[in-house]
């Protein structure tokens, strides 16, 4: 039994589980989050099962991220919001292990402050340079 058969989002994509779908095409499906930060909080998923962003094939990313843009605009306009918060959790805080993008309507003074976690400053410029070098090395 593959992970797709037990994945809640795969079940939504196959319509085995009910959801409030707001958009769908051959690449992706968007539906209302059942535990929203605010009404209009949408989740966009690829129809195929990919656990994380790093598992997602580059040839699908163009169409998928065009849909992120489309939904960010639609959520803002449709919900009469001043903007949106768009986020992807990758493993940590990923409640369902299926790639998904959160698109959340935002308004000034809505109660969300920056990110949902505490920020940790670099101890010095040297630590910043070490992080920069490590990420550049990983890209190569």
* Pairwise CA distance, residues 107 & 85, whole Å: 10
100 is catalytic: yes
* Strand order from edge to edge, sheet including 83-87: 21-24, 28-32, 42-46, 101-106, 83-87
Choosing from 41, 49, 98, 100, which is the catalytic residue?
100
Separation CA 65–CA 72 (nearest Å): 10
Beta strands in the chain (DSSP E): 21-24, 28-32, 42-46, 83-87, 101-106
CA–CA separation, 123 and 109 (whole Å): 31
List active site positions.
100
């Amino acid at each position: 039994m593959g992970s797709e058969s037990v994945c809640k989002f795969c079940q939504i994509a196959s319509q085995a589980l009910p959801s409030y779908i707001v958009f769908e095409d051959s690449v992706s499906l968007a539906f209302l989050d059942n535990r929203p930060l605010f009404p209009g909080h949408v989740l966009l998923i690829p129809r195929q099962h990919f656990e994380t962003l790093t598992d997602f094939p580059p040839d699908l990313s163009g169409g998928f991220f065009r849909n992120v843009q489309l939904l960010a605009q639609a959520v803002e306009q449709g919900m009469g919001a001043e903007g949106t918060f768009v986020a992807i959790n990758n493993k940590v805080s990923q409640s369902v292990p299926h790639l998904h993008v959160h698109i959340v309507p935002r308004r000034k003074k809505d109660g969300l402050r920056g990110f949902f976690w505490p920020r940790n400053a670099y101890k010095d410029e040297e630590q910043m340079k070490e992080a920069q070098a490590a990420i550049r090395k990983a890209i190569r």
